[in-house]
Protein backbone atom coordinates (compact mmCIF):
# COMPACT_ATOMS: atom_id res chain seq x y z
CA UNK A 1 0.00 0.00 0.00
CA UNK A 2 1.09 3.51 -0.71
CA UNK A 3 1.11 6.13 2.03
CA UNK A 4 -1.23 9.11 1.80
CA UNK A 5 0.55 12.41 2.25
CA UNK A 6 -1.06 15.58 3.64
CA UNK A 7 -4.53 14.13 4.08
CA UNK A 8 -6.87 16.99 5.01
CA UNK A 9 -10.41 15.68 4.52
CA UNK A 10 -12.08 12.30 4.51
CA UNK A 11 -15.75 11.64 3.73
CA UNK A 12 -17.43 8.34 4.48
CA UNK A 13 -20.85 7.72 3.01
CA UNK A 14 -23.16 5.52 5.06
CA UNK A 15 -26.31 4.46 3.23
CA UNK A 16 -28.43 4.19 6.38
CA UNK A 17 -27.83 7.85 7.36
CA UNK A 18 -28.70 11.09 5.60
CA UNK A 19 -25.44 13.03 5.59
CA UNK A 20 -26.15 15.74 3.03
CA UNK A 21 -26.79 18.25 5.84
CA UNK A 22 -23.28 17.85 7.23
CA UNK A 23 -24.24 16.09 10.46
CA UNK A 24 -26.33 13.15 11.52
CA UNK A 25 -29.52 13.93 13.41
CA UNK A 26 -31.56 11.00 14.62
CA UNK A 27 -35.13 10.74 13.33
CA UNK A 28 -36.48 10.56 16.88
CA UNK A 29 -36.26 13.08 19.73
CA UNK A 30 -33.90 16.03 19.81
CA UNK A 31 -30.61 14.18 19.64
CA UNK A 32 -28.02 13.31 22.19
CA UNK A 33 -26.01 16.52 22.56
CA UNK A 34 -24.08 17.34 25.73
CA UNK A 35 -26.76 19.90 26.64
CA UNK A 36 -29.40 17.17 26.95
CA UNK A 37 -27.17 14.79 28.89
CA UNK A 38 -26.59 17.33 31.65
CA UNK A 39 -22.82 17.08 31.24
CA UNK A 40 -22.15 20.42 32.91
CA UNK A 41 -25.05 20.29 35.37
CA UNK A 42 -23.90 21.82 38.63
CA UNK A 43 -20.53 22.91 37.20
CA UNK A 44 -21.56 26.21 35.63
CA UNK A 45 -23.76 28.04 38.13
CA UNK A 46 -24.96 30.79 35.77
CA UNK A 47 -25.84 28.33 32.98
CA UNK A 48 -28.67 26.66 34.84
CA UNK A 49 -31.02 26.29 31.87
CA UNK A 50 -33.85 28.45 33.21
CA UNK A 51 -36.20 27.77 30.30
CA UNK A 52 -37.84 30.26 27.94
CA UNK A 53 -39.28 32.67 30.56
CA UNK A 54 -37.63 35.18 32.85
CA UNK A 55 -35.68 38.41 32.49
CA UNK A 56 -32.23 39.54 31.44
CA UNK A 57 -30.85 41.94 34.05
CA UNK A 58 -27.76 44.07 34.56
CA UNK A 59 -25.86 43.04 37.71
CA UNK A 60 -24.64 46.64 38.24
CA UNK A 61 -27.64 48.97 37.77
CA UNK A 62 -30.58 46.53 37.73
CA UNK A 63 -31.73 47.32 34.15
CA UNK A 64 -34.13 44.57 32.99
CA UNK A 65 -35.61 43.34 29.73
CA UNK A 66 -37.77 40.29 29.02
CA UNK A 67 -35.71 37.27 27.96
CA UNK A 68 -36.23 36.24 24.32
CA UNK A 69 -36.14 32.53 23.55
CA UNK A 70 -33.04 31.45 21.64
CA UNK A 71 -31.05 34.57 22.55
CA UNK A 72 -28.73 34.19 25.56
CA UNK A 73 -28.74 37.11 28.00
CA UNK A 74 -24.94 37.10 28.03
CA UNK A 75 -25.04 38.20 24.37
CA UNK A 76 -26.90 41.42 25.28
CA UNK A 77 -25.37 44.57 26.79
CA UNK A 78 -26.80 47.00 29.30
CA UNK A 79 -27.35 50.38 27.57
CA UNK A 80 -26.29 52.21 30.76
CA UNK A 81 -23.24 50.23 31.97
CA UNK A 82 -22.10 48.59 28.69
CA UNK A 83 -21.64 45.19 30.39
CA UNK A 84 -23.26 41.86 29.53
CA UNK A 85 -26.64 41.08 31.05
CA UNK A 86 -27.30 38.04 33.25
CA UNK A 87 -30.33 35.75 33.40
CA UNK A 88 -32.65 36.33 36.37
Angle at 45 between CA 73 and CA 82, to 5 degrees: 35
Q: Classify residue 59: in a domain, yes or no.
A: yes
Domain that holds residue 63: 54-88
pLDDT at 22: 57
- The reported pTM is 0.45
Number of structural domains found in the chain = 1
Q: Classify residue 86: in a domain, yes or no.
A: yes
Task: Tell me the per-residue pLDDT of 39-77, one tens digit each, with 9 for 90 and over.
Answer: 555 555 555 556 667 899 999 999 999 998 888 888 899
For the segment 7-23, the average pLDDT, to the nearest whole number, is: 64
Amino acid sequence: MKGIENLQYVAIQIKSHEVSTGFYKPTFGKGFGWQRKGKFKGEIEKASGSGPGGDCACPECGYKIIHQRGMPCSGLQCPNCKINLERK
